[in-house]
Amino acid sequence: MTEQRIKVEVAYAKQREQALLEIEAERGITVAQAIERSGILGRFPEIDLAVNKVGIHGKAARLDQPLASGDRVEIYRPLIADPKAARKRRAGEARKESRAASA
């Protein structure tokens, strides 16, 4: 027999403030419904589900994806740093170091 109620978590984390809310819901609830139900949107008004990507346990997910028991729905924020620039900077530093080592 499968349980009718499942427990899921909704998480949103910023550098200074984080929320990890647990909710109980009926089987078949979707990512969007869980976020709505958790009330996290009221606590962090800056969340815009059209902009912020969501996922389950570190893997990107669609808003209409159904949840399984124990899933952690996560709301992400876009990057501030540019990965390409960071890589270029690191490559530059490595080159400088190797040059200094050979000189």
Q: Which residues bind to another protein, rule: CB under 8 A?
A: 11-15, 18, 20, 53, 55, 57-60, 72, 74, 76-81, 83, 86-87, 90
CB-nearer residue toward another protein: 43 or 87:
87
Write down the least CB distance from residue 4 to another protein, Å: 26
Write down the least CB distance from residue 17 to another protein, Å: 9
Q: How far apart are CA 25 and CA 9, in angstroms?
A: 10
Give the pairing type, strands 59-61 and 54-56: antiparallel
Write down the least CB distance from residue 11 to another protein, Å: 5
